[in-house]
Amino acid sequence: MSMTTGGGGGYSSDINVTPMIDILLVLLIIFMVIVPVTPKGLDALVPQPPKDKQKQQNPTDRTIVVQVMHHPGAQPGYKINETDVLKGELLPKLTDIYANRAERIMFVRGDDEVNFASIAEVIDIGRAAGVDHIGLMTPKIMAGQ
């Protein structure tokens, strides 16, 4: 590095690094802003085993399953946990069931021949009854078949 002292007024061949530092700082700020905004994966909760098996209630006592059954040539039939129910009685019965429950979970099971519109109606009735989470049950696929 040499220093010029006064005089000549000629051209200097020294590199001016000030613009490069400005560009570097701008890029650094841009990357610092972009990195925290990158999306991350879905938050998923893994089921935990019960801590005390004696305190655990029988899950079938708390599970509500609404079944939509196919009747050839007629309207579909409905059951709430193996109890036959008419379609017009679904909303009042589900409202009574979920009136005092903290867990508002319901499962819907439909026969293979049932039109999905009937399943969608049961889901809408469940939402109207105040159910927060509605799951669809599918048949288990047996190994070797």
| Cα four-point dihedral sign 22, 25, 29, 35 | positive
Domain residue limits, the chain: 59-137
**Global confidence as pTM:** 0.55
Alpha-carbon distance of 79 to 71, in angstroms, equals 13
Residue range 59-137 forms a domain whose CATH class is: alpha beta
Note the pLDDT tens digit of each residue in 50-69: 676 555 455 445 788 999 98
H or E element in which residue 116 lies: helix 116-128
Task: Kindly indicate the confidence band of residue 101, based on its pLDDT and cuts at 50, 70 and 90.
Answer: confident
Q: Report how far residue 23's alpha carbon sits from residue 65's, in angstroms, rounded to the nearest whole number.
A: 63
